[in-house]
């Protein structure tokens, strides 16, 4: 199983926020969980840090991603672009497109860790919160 991380899921996990869903927290604490971080998630986090909208530093975020062997940073590549759902805004579409790469091209069972209503309602990929 592969879990794609939405921006708020990653930042709330790193900040130990009570806003993180219980199912999401349990998965993020498991040693064998495969975590995929779309590059848009990292870009959004850099923006949020620059606007002081999150408590964690960007360096701490990068340190976590680089040092947790469960984490895979996935680029915005042509496969993601081809699978972008037009029904979502660009940020959500890139997260879903990344999940669809893993699901349809790589043949992995894939879920998105998010509470985003647009992603959840789209039904494109199962979500967990």
Q: pLDDT value at position 107?
A: 97
- Write the CATH number of the domain with boundaries 2-128: 3.40.50.1010
The residues spanned by each domain of the chain are 2-128
Structure-block tokens of residue 104: 């349809």
Segment 101-121, tens digit of pLDDT: 999 999 999 999 999 999 999
**pLDDT, tens digit, for every residue of 60-107?**
999 999 999 999 999 999 999 999 999 999 999 999 999 999 999 999
Distances (CA, A) of 120 to 15, 23, 92, 125: 23, 15, 10, 8
Each residue's pLDDT tens digit, 1-58: 999 999 999 999 999 999 999 999 999 999 999 999 999 999 999 999 999 999 999 9
Is the separation of the CB atoms in 9 and 114 below 8 Å?
Answer: yes
pLDDT reported for residue 114: 98
What pLDDT, on the 0 to 100 scale, is given for residue 2? 97
pLDDT of amino acid 17: 96
Whole-prediction pTM: 0.94
Please give the backbone phi and psi of residue 38, each rounded to the nearest 5 degrees, phi first.
Answer: -65, 145
Pairing of strands 110-113, 127-128: parallel
Q: What is the pLDDT of residue 25?
A: 97
């Amino acid at each position: 199983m592969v879990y794609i991380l939405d921006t708020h899921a990653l930042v709330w996990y790193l900040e130990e926020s009570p806003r993180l869903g219980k199912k999401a927290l349990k998965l993020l604490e498991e040693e064998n969980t495969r975590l995929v971080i779309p590059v848009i998630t990292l870009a959004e986090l850099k923006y949020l840090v620059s606007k002081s909208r999150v408590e964690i530093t960007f360096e701490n975020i990068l340190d976590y991603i680089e040092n947790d062997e469960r984490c895979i940073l996935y680029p915005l590549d042509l496969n993601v672009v081809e699978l972008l759902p037009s029904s979502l805004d660009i940020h959500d579409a890139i997260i879903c497109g990344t999940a669809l790469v893993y699901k349809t091209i790589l043949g992995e069972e894939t879920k998105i860790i998010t509470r985003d209503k647009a992603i959840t309602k789209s039904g494109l990929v199962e979500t967990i919160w």
